[in-house]
Amino acid sequence: MKSALKTASTAIKRWLALYRMRSIEINLSGAIDTLPLVRDQLTRERMQIAIREMSLALCKARADYVALLPAGQRIVWDIA
């Protein structure tokens, strides 16, 4: 019983980590697509800072997701 609960708990944590990771990817993609349309220099600089922070958050979310995978199963992403 304890093993089944631990497996279910890990599966839920893995799903939440995947959801968090995909949400950041979608947000980052939208910000990158919108950046060329921004004319105001101050807003553009703030968006670039936000994009950098989202990229770092994506790296952390991916690391959290990979940490929840079974031993021997690892994913390598092209771009962070």
Residue in 52, 68, 80 with CA at minimum distance from that of residue 17 = 68
Mean pLDDT of the chain: 89
- Contact (Cβ atoms closer than 8 angstroms) between residue 53 and residue 60: no
DSSP string for residues in 39-55: --HHHHHHHHHHHHHHH
Q: Please give the structure tokens belonging to residue 64.
A: 């959290």
Q: Is the pTM above the cut of 0.85?
A: no
* Domain regions of the chain by residue span: 2-67
Burial of residue 44, with CB atoms counted within 10 A of its CB: 0-12 exposed, 13-18 middle, 19 or more buried: middle
Tens-digit pLDDT profile for residues 39-51: 999 999 999 999 9
Tens-digit pLDDT profile for residues 49-72: 999 999 999 999 999 998 888 887
